[in-house]
Amino acid sequence: MSYVMAGTAATLFGLGTYLLLQRKLSRIIIGLSLLSHGANVLFVNSGRSGVAPFVGKGDAADMADPIPQALVLTAIVISFATTTLLLALAYRSWLLTDDDEVDDDVEDRVIGRHGHLDTEVSDEAALAAAVSVAAEEELPDGHEPEVVP
């Protein structure tokens, strides 16, 4: 039994991680819920299995460990709430961009562009291409990129 549960948890973690690495927000969200399912399955499995733990219903040594089950309920509720919030965020993002791709890191591009322009570029064509790519990128607070030829 325990091997089946461990295998399930491992599969869920694997699938979740794969989906988390995609660029579509919808896949990332599904990946995250798979990850938390994996963690929940793992947690349920961390206690002893056995008969239902009621006082007076059999020997205490045969009973399942109720603590992980109680704890997992809390964890499930938390992951439910956060997934809902994440879906709302993704919807907002879709409304704003008409797309559920994750954007490039804008600030990272800005820094990268500084570094690129700082180094001496011997190939004029490559520099011109880099500058035009940089100029097309949308920058925060609408400030125009300084184009240094």
Name which of residues 112 to 141 contact another protein (CB under 8 A). Answer: 114, 140-141
Q: How far is the CB of 124 from another protein (least distance, A)?
A: 26
Rule CB under 8 A: choose which of 79, 121, 130, 145 binds another protein. 79
Interaction of residue 86 with another protein, rule CB under 8 A? yes
Rule CB under 8 A: choose which of 15, 64, 110, 130 binds another protein. 110
- DSSP-derived secondary structure for the chain: -HHHHHHHHHHHHHHHHHHHTSSBHHHHHHHHHHHHHHHHHHHHTTS---B---TTSS-GGGB--HHHHHHHHHHHHHHHHHHHHHHHHHHHHHHHHS--BPPP-HHHHHHHHHHHHHS----HHHHHHHHHHHHHS--GGGPPPP---
Residues of this chain that interact with another protein (CB under 8 A) are: 13, 16, 20, 25, 28, 32, 35-36, 38-40, 42-43, 45-47, 65, 67-68, 71, 74-75, 78-79, 81-82, 85-86, 89-90, 92-93, 96-97, 102-103, 105-107, 110-111, 114, 140-141, 143, 146
